[in-house]
Structure 1
Amino acid sequence: MIMKKTLFTICLAGALLSTVSCKKFLTEDSLTKLDESKVYSDVNLIETSLKGVYSNFKNFRTDEQGLITMMGTDETQQGAFQMKSDPQKGGLDRYDLNLNSLLPHLANQWNIRWPVVNESAKIINGLEKLNAKAGTREGNLLGEAYFVRGFVDFELAMYWGEIPIRDISRESTLGFKRQPLKDVWTFIINDFTKASQLCPQTNTAGRATIGAAFAMLGKAYMSAPESTGLRNFDSARLAFEQMMGKYSLVAYKDLWDYTKSNTAESIFEFQFSPVYPNNNKLQFQIGSRAVQAAFGDGCYYSGYDKIVPTVHAYETVANGGIWEDGDLRKDESIRYDFTYYGTTPTLDPILWEDLGTNYDELKPHVKKYEDFRTDKHSDQKINNEWNSGKNIPVLRLGDIKLCYAECLNELGKTNDAVNVVNEVRTRAWGGTLPADKRWTALSQDAFRTAIMDERIRELFAENWRRIDLIRTGKFIEYVKTRNKWAKESGSLQAFQMLYPIPDVEMKLNDQITPEDQNPGYK
């Protein structure tokens, strides 16, 4: 919820992410009992506050909450047992009446973001008063705060549409109500523009740089709803051209090798380790129940099937899926074989689940976040997949090249767009792209279709799919036919591209009322 409780934390960086109303968070006194005028006028305290912001920002991608926005797409869906055991959360894939304003999983997604937005806004307000300039420590911090606020607002706007604008200097006029989409997206684009002017060229791993700012500025121009008049593929192209040369593609397998974190391709990634409290816990959620039943939590790819690939995302082209022979990304992204030290697990230990023909515990699973350091055979002796702690890429060059290619296509430069895609595909075939796998002349519409499957191949389970589907207008068409649970229920409607505003928000924030709810939801 929007929340005004200060996230500035000298020693409470994570403790202040309480789940109270947006408005309540925005009006409570700081737990630190420090005068805000002092906190946000002292660059050392501001930097401490910003570190807390980053800590809470990366927590978006931990544990089950890190998977919620990946549910209900044409790329990943909830596992069968999860759908049966938690019908309420099943609404995220079935798009039935359980997808409503009372769903706590969505309220949590709303709630965890607003404290980060609010604290970033306070940092920005403080540094603007200090007249922070580019090239100075204060200017760098201001650029980073713009980046974080812009990024989280970008997500909020993609998932919920109209949102409050957290600009402290205009709080008396803006209040805490939802603002028109054009104003929201103007604000987001302005944040990334300022971030691109102020962020440092290089930075500590896990913190924003000018490259990350330009990357998100490009994505914002591509994603702004057409109704706002702000979607501009040429501006996106220019933004991407400002930063792509600073990075280079690496071997695809290196992106998922925990000994090679923050590669030359990495633009921005969340930093984790297999040691609590800095583990991301993702493998605990995405591994296989059948593997867990057979080998225990000490097998690094056991888990609980919270999300699994759709058939479209794991099958070969010949079988109606996306994968072509020889594409190295396939086996780096998805686990097909569950044999563990010579033993192949069966479904026998979990037949009590009584799933009929829906057992998917030994069907393909997400592989990218498996962390062998947690395995009982690892020298580290962690012995529990819950401690998975690989870094999580947020922005990387492979993604941006494909975004750039989309821009070129929309600008009528489809041949150039095809060449850029072939750069990414060449990496996918180990550096030599077979002639029959090279994209050749495509129409503009054919490119639009082809690039969507290419983005799954390149970015499977990296949390961009929902946004890609929404911004391209493919959400309903693809989810209806490719997501098993949505297809079975037949309930998906266009209004469900956006999430409902949480009921608790409307009860605690008198500036967002039931009348302000997204159309289609009660």
Structure 2
Amino acid sequence: MKRNILTWSLVAGFAMFSASCSNFLDEKSPTRLDESQVYSDVNLVETSLKGAYASWKAVRTDEQALIMMMGTDETQQGALQMKSDAAKGGIDRYDGNLNSTLAHISNQWGIRWPIVNEAARIIKGLSSSPVEPGSREAKLVGEASFIRGFLDFQLAMYWGEIPIRDLDHEAELGFRRQPLKDVWTFIIADLQRAADNCPKTNDPGRATSGAAWAMLGKAYMSAPVSTGLRDFSKAAACFEKMMGDYSLVPYKNLWDYNTPNTTEAILEFQFSPVYPNNNKIQFQIGSRAVQAFFGDGCYYSGYDKIVPTQYAYSSVDSGGVWEPGDQRRFEAIRYDFTYYGQTPNLDPLKWEDLGNDYDELMPHVKKYEDFRTDKHADNKINNMWNSGKNIPVLRLADIKLCYAECLNELNRTAEAVNVVNEVRTRAWGGTLPDNRKWTTMGQDAFRTAIMDERMRELFAEDWRRIDLIRTGKYVEYVKARNKWTKQSGTIQNFNVLLPIPDTEMKLNGDITPADQNEGYH
């Protein structure tokens, strides 16, 4: 980490400032401003923070945006991807290819740390002197704390013990993995600071106090039980502080590029179908059969990098998750590939010889399709690579379902059922049939049912892996529902966490092979 996190972050940090202060990046004096000057200057910090947001948003672009959605009970890699890339296939098979040398996992580790470190520098620089509550400095500290807290939350969920980037205690902490209790205490403190200092309203794509309270609630309900920090009462209190500031909108509006940043949106990453602000998601998740038949100018062409599992796309009576009348189903998943009266077939792909595994015309993720890239659209973009819908990070329905979980754990299941029915009412267009209303159920039954409801509501929104980990259902559900995991039969309990990258252990003297997560080499 000394090189691949700290060095990259410092270079990125100075690059962030280049547009506004190129005078100190000249040949004679490339370091005219030292770090203490840079990170204590509120105008330079604002520029740095914008760069951190841009880098964070980039995590959710192109193929790298999909890696953490692979290998779950909700989405899996497409058949050709599994056949053509055995190493990456390990993410779904959970075989020996899922190891410390797997570049796709190393990248997920590597792309987050420079952003964490930049946020840490901002927090240290602005906190070197007392920060006045409500000031611009306080707002920036709050936003940087939110970014660091959110990314540390993900890193801790995926890898367990991680380094703590508290620059005021760097000499003491080093670059070692820290005990889980210390890590989660740090995450909670960051998100509390963010809740206290982020503004109530902010520019789209930037953190607010509502987003911070939402993530603090998620942290309290996700912290490992072993830390003693999991607290559903505190989580519920966090959610109660912010839910009233948002409202549910028709589900289809969430995926309509004409209605970005709805009243349900707590935080969305801002994209557009124009390079370099496109996210390329549809290029990765559309259908190759459609691409082969209609070309790049069909807005749901793509390369099948992830597809829904059979459980995630099937109806309840076929052993899946979807109930009759749930409008979310056809907003979330594409079943019909007919395009302007023509139906594609697999003939152009038959040479690939995938046997019974062809899935290019099986159900696909639909949420991120962007018609503005279609050859029939007015934009004349003609390539799904330019897909650029906003990507939701946090939204109210997610938090309502989290809140319902907390109520259930607090033995207030009847109230929890009512909250879930609010979300389900929206899913049935505003009128929930009596036979679709949740009624009184036991606490354990609720725990099972809420996981299906979260899949229906949040399909392919990058929360499933975390949901499975925090509820202890990871291995059970993935083994039963992911086609490739089931075929392989090699998933083990240690696969709940990912391997620490080999490159990190080679570059960071404080993390050695002895510090590797159990089960990995």
* Alignment TM class, shorter chain as reference: over 0.9
| Cα distance in 2 between the residues matched to 1:254 and 1:163 | 38
Match of residue 115 from structure 1: 114
**Match of residue 276 from structure 2:** 277
Is residue 332 of structure 1 aligned with residue 331 of structure 2? yes
Instruction: Give the conservation status (yes or no) of the 8 Å contact 1:206–1:270.
Output: yes
Residues 146-295 of structure 1: pairs in structure 2 closer than 5 A? 146-295=145-294
Q: Which residue of 1 aligns with 2:81?
A: 82
Q: CA deviation at 1:402?
A: 0.1
Displacement after TM superposition at 1:130 (Å) = 3.3
Farther-moved stretch of structure 1 (341-350 vs 30-39): 30-39
Mapped pair 1:405 → 2:410: no
What does 1:28-177 correspond to in 2, within 5 Å? 34-177=33-176
CA drift at 1:434:
0.3
Question: 1:521 aligns to what?
Answer: 520
Does the 8 Å contact 1:9/1:48 carry over to 2? no
Distance in 1 (alpha carbons) for counterparts of 2:474 and 2:36: 45
Residue 17 of structure 1 corresponds to which residue in structure 2?
none
Determine whether 1:8 maps to 2:13: yes
Mapped to 2, the partners of 1:350 and 1:34 lie a distance apart of 57
Distance 2:267 2:355 in 1: 43
SS of equivalent to 1:121: helix
Q: Match for 2:333: what amino acid?
A: I
Which residue pairs with 2:430 in the alignment? 431
How many residue pairs get aligned? The number is 507
Measured after TM superposition, the shift of residue 13 of structure 1 is: 8.7
Give distance in 1, aligned partners of 2:465 and 2:228: 22
Q: Partner amino acid for 2:341?
A: G
Helix, strand or coil at the partner of 1:308: strand
Residue 11 of structure 1: CA displacement? Answer: 4.8
The change in CA–CA distance for 1:33 and 1:465 in structure 2 (over 3 A counts) is farther
User: The residue matched to 1:130 in structure 2 has which SS?
Assistant: coil
Whether the 8 Å CA contact 2:16–2:48 is kept in 1: the answer is no
> 8 Å contact 1:74–1:479 — kept in the other structure?
yes
Residue aligned with 1:339, SS: coil
The residue identity in structure 1 corresponding to 2:304 is D
How much does 1:37 deviate? 1.2
Distance (whole Å) between structure 1 residues aligned to residue 183 and residue 30 of structure 2: 30
CA distance in 1, matches of 2:213, 2:78: 36
What amino acid is the match of 2:469?
I
Aligned residue for 2:267, secondary structure, equals strand
Calculate the aligned-residue CA RMSD, in Å. Answer: 1.3
* Distance in 1, Cα, partners of 2:270 & 2:15: 20
Helix, strand or coil for the counterpart of 1:140? Answer: helix
Name the amino acid aligned to 1:209. Answer: T
Conserved in 2, the CA contact under 8 Å of 1:40 and 1:127? yes
Q: Residue 22 of structure 2 corresponds to which residue in structure 1? A: none
| Cα separation, 2, equivalents of 1:90 and 1:314 | 21
| Alpha-carbon distance in 1 for matches of 2:255, 2:18 | 28
Q: Do the aligned partners of 2:17 and 2:44 also contact (CA within 8 Å) in 1?
A: no
372 and 9 in structure 1: CA distance in 2 versus 1, 3 angstrom threshold: farther
Deviations 1:190-220 (A, max 9, x none): 0001111000010000000000000000000
Decide whether the 8 Å contact of 1:279 with 1:387 is kept in 2: yes
1:147 to partner: Cα distance: 0.2
Shift of 1:31: 8.0
CA contact (8 A) 1:181 1:228 kept: yes
Q: Which moved more, 1:35-44 or 1:1-10?
A: 1-10
Query: Aligned partners of 1:256 and 1:96: how far apart in 2?
Result: 36
User: CA 1:410–1:43 in 2, change beyond 3 Å: closer, same or farther?
Assistant: same
Give 1:62's aligned amino acid. Answer: T
In 1, Cα distance between the equivalents of 2:129 and 2:393? 31
Deviations along 1:216-246, one digit per CA (max 9) or x if unpaired, are 0000000000000000000000000000000
SS of 2:46 mapped into structure 1? helix
Q: 1:144-169, CA deviations, whole angstroms, 9 ceiling, x for partnerless residues?
A: 00000000000000000000000000
**Structure 1 counterpart SS, 2:369:** coil
Give secondary structure in 2 for the equivalent of 1:4: helix
**Amino acid across the alignment from 2:132:** K
Distance 1:314 1:33, change over 3 A: farther
Which letter does structure 2 place at the counterpart of 1:362?
L
How many Å apart are 1:134 and its aligned residue?
Answer: 2.2
Q: CA deviation at 1:129?
A: 1.1
Matched, 1:346 2:345: yes
Residues 34 and 352 of structure 1, relative CA distance in 2, 3 Å threshold: farther
Equivalent position amino acid for 2:61 in 1: T
Q: Percent identity?
A: 72
Using the size of structure 1 for normalisation, the TM-score is 0.96
Amino acid at match of 2:57: K
Q: Which TM-score applies when normalising by structure 2?
A: 0.96
Uncovered stretches (5+) of structure 2, i.e. residues with no partner? 20-28
SS in 1 for 2:284: helix
Amino acid at match of 1:494: N
The code of the aligned residue for 2:85 comes to D
Deviations 1:440-471 (A, max 9, x none): 01100000000000000000000000000000
Contact 2:272 2:389 in 1 (8 A): yes
Q: 1:466 to 1:262 in 2, by over 3 A?
A: same
Q: What is the CA–CA distance in structure 1 between the aligned matches of 2:217 and 2:132, rounded to whole Å?
A: 23
Q: Partner letter of residue 163 of structure 1?
A: I
Provide the residue aligned with 1:389 in structure 2.
Answer: 388
Paired residue type of 1:96: D
Say yes or no: does 1:478 pair with 2:480: no
Contact kept? 1:323, 1:457, Cα under 8 Å: yes
CA distance in 1, matches of 2:179, 2:15: 36
| 1:494 and 2:499 are equivalent in the alignment | no
Distance 1:410 1:184 in 2: 24
For 2:133 and 2:274, the matched residues in 1 are separated by: 37
State the distance in 2 between where 1:31 and 1:177 align.
31
CA distance in 2, matches of 1:191, 1:338: 46
